[in-house]
Every structure is written in C-alpha cells, then in structure tokens.
Amino acid sequence: MITNAERFKRYFPKTLSSNLTLEATERYIESKIIEFEIKSGFTFAIKEKETQTIMGLVILKKVDWKTKQAEIAYCIGKEYERKGWVTKAVKAISNYALNELNLEILQIIAHKTNLASIKVAENNGFVWQRTLVDEFTPTYELSLDMELYEYKNEK
C-alpha cells in the first residue's frame, strides 16, 4: 500500500490510511479476520506465487445477506497491472461468493475513466446497469458519478 500510496489514495483512502505503519497493518489484518469470521466482509490478498509478495487486494464488501448481494472492490500495485491478475482474482472471488456463500448479485462500481477496472468487470461477465450520481467522494474532492456493473447468478 505504501509503495503505491499515490495510486491508491483516491479510491482506497480508508484502506491506505489503515496500512501506513506495520502496527496499523497488523490491526487492519486483525479487523479483516474478524469480518471474515462474522461474514460481514471478505478481504483476499493477490500474492506472487514464488515470493508471496502481496500484489493487490480483492475485497468482497457491503455483504447483504437479506438481498444476497455484495460489492467487489480491487486494487493492484502498478508493477503488476495489465497482467490479468485482477481478472483472475475477481473470477475466483466471484465463484466463491456465488457458490460457497450463495450470494446472487455481485456488484462492481468503477469510475468511467478507470478503463482497466471496467475491463476486469466486463471480462468477468459483469454488465453495466446505470450511472450512480454522486456515488463516491474522494478525499478533498467533489463527489463523482460512478458506473455500476452487476453479475446476477442464473441458477
């Protein structure tokens, strides 16, 4: 997170601010383990196979057990982008969410200028639904319209 702080600060400010020191990262990981245990959120690391270096994250968040839906968010370090890692990770997490957690609707929310994120959504079968007006407000910026993509499980 620190190495890519400039890259992550706009769309992942909370995750970034929770990982600025080793102690903060340890607390972040502990909180994510608790979220996993109580099934309120699921955070997965994308790791290099040989070195186990963390390349990025995929987060299954805003899990709503009543409507059986959740949002998928993801980020990857600049040096690892454009290699298909996020597309593969989102596919794996989507399969987990649909088949193991029995969720029915998965959402990805991306800014229209984030073409790589939109490509990940589309490559995984997510379909554009609508523009969400004033959906996200980056730190020290005006709110942004975001694009909603959904995948609906057709059981």
pLDDT digits (tens, 9 = 90+) for 109-134: 999 999 999 999 999 999 999 999 99
Asked if 146 and 132 count as a contact pair (C-beta separation under 8 A), the reply is: yes
CB atoms within 10 A of CB 15: 18
Q: Apex CA 100: angle with CA 60 and CA 107, to 5°?
A: 35
pLDDT digits (tens, 9 = 90+) for 55-87: 888 999 999 999 999 999 998 888 898 899 999
CA neighbor of 111 nearest in space, from 135, 87, 129: 135
CB atoms within 10 A of CB 34: 11
Helix (H) or strand (E) holding 28: helix 22-37
At the topology level, CATH places domain 5-152 in Aminopeptidase (3.40.630)
pLDDT band at residue 98 under the 50/70/90 scheme: very high
pLDDT at 7 over 60: no
Read off the DSSP letter of residue 48: -
Pairing status of strand 42-47 against strand 54-64: antiparallel
pTM: 0.84
Pairing status of strand 69-76 against strand 54-64: antiparallel
Give residue 32's pLDDT. 86
Which amino acid is residue 124, in one-letter code?
N
